[in-house]
């Protein structure tokens, strides 16, 4: 069960971050980035929340969505670092933190699956 709590906490951090950026800066919190990247990053407020709600409901789809979010977010940030900011993504702390976070989510996902079923009251 603690694995699910950790996953939910991480999703909550992401959701709060993206909601805060939206409230503070609107649909384009990163004026240096192309519009499609801004829309993607802003949409994470909804997707992070959806993944957390699905996990709280004991749905495996929540874990699948969390994995998809992390993979696409890491890809978007690496793209932005490389092709928009013309930087080495491995030299940027934000990208490195996101990479570590992505690895953690991907490693926790199979461990969390049986716990989600217990949340729904079913044996695994």
Residue 14 CB neighbour total at 10 angstroms = 23
Using the predicted structure, report yes or no on whether residue 78 has a pLDDT greater than 90: yes
pLDDT at position 124: 47
Better-predicted residue by pLDDT, 71 or 6: 71
pLDDT at position 119: 61
Portion of the chain with pLDDT greater than 90, in percent = 55
pLDDT at position 1: 54
Contact 11, 21 (CB under 8 A): no
């Amino acid at each position: 069960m603690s694995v699910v709590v950790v996953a939910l906490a991480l999703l909550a951090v992401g959701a709060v971050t993206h909601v805060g950026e939206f409230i503070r800066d609107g649909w384009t919190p990163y004026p240096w980035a192309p519009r499609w990247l801004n829309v993607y990053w802003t949409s994470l407020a909804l997707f992070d929340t959806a993944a957390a709600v699905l996990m709280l409901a004991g749905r495996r789809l929540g874990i699948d969505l969390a994995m998809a979010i992390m993979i696409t977010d890491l890809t978007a940030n690496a793209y932005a670092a490389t092709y928009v900011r013309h930087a080495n993504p491995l030299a940027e702390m934000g990208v490195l933190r996101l990479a570590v976070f992505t690895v953690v989510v991907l490693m926790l996902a199979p461990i969390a699956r049986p716990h989600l079923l217990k949340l729904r009251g079913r044996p695994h």
